[in-house]
Structure 1
Amino acid sequence: MMMIKHFCPSNPTICLCRTVQVFPKSIYYLSTNVDSLTNENKKQKIHSQYPLLDTKFNQYRIAYHYRRSIELLRGYLVFRIFSIHAFVNHQDKIAYWGRRILGDRLFKNILKVTAFGHFVGGETPKEITPAIKRLLNYNVKPILDYSVESDDNSPLSSSSQIDLMHDHNTTKFIECIQTSHDLCGPNNLVAIKVTALIRPNVLKKFNTILKSMKNRSSLPPLFELINQEQTNNKIVVLFQDSVNKNLKEDQNQISSNVTFLPDDLTEIHNLLIRLNKIAEACLKHQISIMIDAEQTYFQTAINYLATELQRYYNKSNTPVIYGTYQCYLKDTLNSLKYDLALAEKYNYIFAAKLVRGAYMEQENRLAREYGYESPINPSFEATSQMYHTCLDEVLNNIAKRKPEQVRIMVASHNEDTVR
Structure 2
Amino acid sequence: MTSNSLFDNTETAFQLKSDSELERAYFLFKMISKEPLVKIGSAVTKFALNINLPVEGLIRSTVFDHFCGGVNERDCMSTVDRLYDVGVSSVLDFSVEGKEEETQFDATADKVIELTEFAKNKEAMPFSVFKPTGFGKFKVWQKITESEPLTDSEKIGWKNIENRYDRVSKVAHDNGIRLLIDAEESWMQDAADDLCEKMMEKYNKERPIVFNTLQCYRWDRLDYLKKLHQRAKMKGYKLGFKIVRGAYMEKENERAIEKGYKTPICESKKATDDTFNEVLKYILENIDDIGLFVGTHNELSTYLTMDLMKEKGISKSDDRIWFGQLFGMSDHITFNLGAEGYNVAKYIPFGPVKDVMPYLIRRAEENTSVAGQTSRELTLLKKEKERRKL
TM range (shorter): 0.7 to 0.9
**Conserved 8 A contact 2:94-2:112:** yes
The alpha carbon displacement at 1:348 in A equals: 0.9
Structure 1 gaps, min length 5 = 1-28, 33-53, 155-161, 210-257
The residue aligned with 2:269 is: 380
Judge which range, 294-303 or 87-96, deviates more: 87-96
- Residues 1:179 and 1:108: Cα distance change in structure 2 (over 3 Å): farther
The alpha carbon displacement at 1:99 in A equals: 5.8
- Residues 1:123 and 1:181: Cα distance change in structure 2 (over 3 Å): farther
- Superposed counterparts of 1:317-332, under 5 Å: 317=207, 319-332=208-221
The residue aligned with 2:24 is: 74
- Residues 1:104 and 1:394: Cα distance change in structure 2 (over 3 Å): same
Q: Deviations over 1:196-252 (max 9, x none)?
A: 11121111111112xxxxxxxxxxxxxxxxxxxxxxxxxxxxxxxxxxxxxxxxxxx
The residue aligned with 1:5 is: none
The alpha carbon displacement at 1:359 in A equals: 0.4
The alpha carbon displacement at 1:291 in A equals: 0.6
- Superposed counterparts of 1:190-229, under 5 Å: 190-209=128-147
- Residues 1:277 and 1:65: Cα distance change in structure 2 (over 3 Å): same
The alpha carbon displacement at 1:366 in A equals: 1.0
The alpha carbon displacement at 1:357 in A equals: 0.1
The reply to whether residue 366 of structure 1 matches residue 255 of structure 2 is: yes
Q: Deviations over 1:119-162 (max 9, x none)?
A: 10011122111101100101110111111344xx86xxxxxxx2
**Conserved 8 A contact 2:116-2:177:** yes
Count of aligned residue pairs for this structure pair = 303
Q: Deviations over 1:29-75 (max 9, x none)?
A: 9x65xxxxxxxxxxxxxxxxxxxxx6542222222223323222222
The residue aligned with 1:259 is: 149
The reply to whether residue 87 of structure 1 matches residue 18 of structure 2 is: no
The reply to whether residue 128 of structure 1 matches residue 76 of structure 2 is: yes
- Residues 1:90 and 1:410: Cα distance change in structure 2 (over 3 Å): same
The counterpart of 2:112, out of the listed 163, 173, 192, is 173
Secondary structure of the residue aligned to 1:377 is coil
The residue aligned with 1:281 is: 171
The alpha carbon displacement at 1:373 in A equals: 1.7
* CA distance, structure 2, for counterparts of residue 92 and residue 286 of structure 1: 39
- Residues 1:67 and 1:358: Cα distance change in structure 2 (over 3 Å): same
Judge which range, 286-295 or 168-177, deviates more: 168-177
* CA distance, structure 1, for counterparts of residue 171 and residue 50 of structure 2: 42
Secondary structure of the residue aligned to 2:96 is coil
Judge which range, 115-124 or 64-73, deviates more: 64-73
**Conserved 8 A contact 2:213-2:243:** yes
The alpha carbon displacement at 1:97 in A equals: 6.5
The reply to whether residue 142 of structure 1 matches residue 31 of structure 2 is: no
Structure of higher RCO (CA pairs closer than 8 Å, 6+ residues apart):
2
Q: Deviations over 1:81-121 (max 9, x none)?
A: 111112112234422675699x734x111111110111100
Secondary structure of the residue aligned to 1:336 is helix
**Conserved 8 A contact 1:397-1:406:** yes
The reply to whether residue 188 of structure 1 matches residue 135 of structure 2 is: no
Secondary structure of the residue aligned to 2:240 is strand
* CA distance, structure 2, for counterparts of residue 73 and residue 201 of structure 1: 43
The residue aligned with 2:312 is: none
Q: Which amino acid counterpart does residue 301 of structure 2 have in structure 1?
A: T
Please report the TM-score for the alignment, with normalisation by the length of structure 2: 0.73
Percent sequence identity is 27
The reply to whether residue 104 of structure 1 matches residue 53 of structure 2 is: yes
The counterpart of 1:115, out of the listed 52, 60, 63, is 63
* CA distance, structure 2, for counterparts of residue 380 and residue 90 of structure 1: 27
Secondary structure of the residue aligned to 2:71 is coil
* CA distance, structure 1, for counterparts of residue 162 and residue 141 of structure 2: 12
Secondary structure of the residue aligned to 1:90 is helix
* CA distance, structure 1, for counterparts of residue 248 and residue 107 of structure 2: 26
The reply to whether residue 410 of structure 1 matches residue 358 of structure 2 is: no
* CA distance, structure 2, for counterparts of residue 169 and residue 127 of structure 1: 18
Secondary structure of the residue aligned to 1:104 is coil
Larger Rg: 1
**Conserved 8 A contact 2:80-2:124:** no
Secondary structure of the residue aligned to 2:59 is helix
* CA distance, structure 1, for counterparts of residue 230 and residue 5 of structure 2: 33
The residue aligned with 1:163 is: 102
**Conserved 8 A contact 1:187-1:288:** no
- CA RMSD, Structure 1 to Structure 2 (Å): 2.2
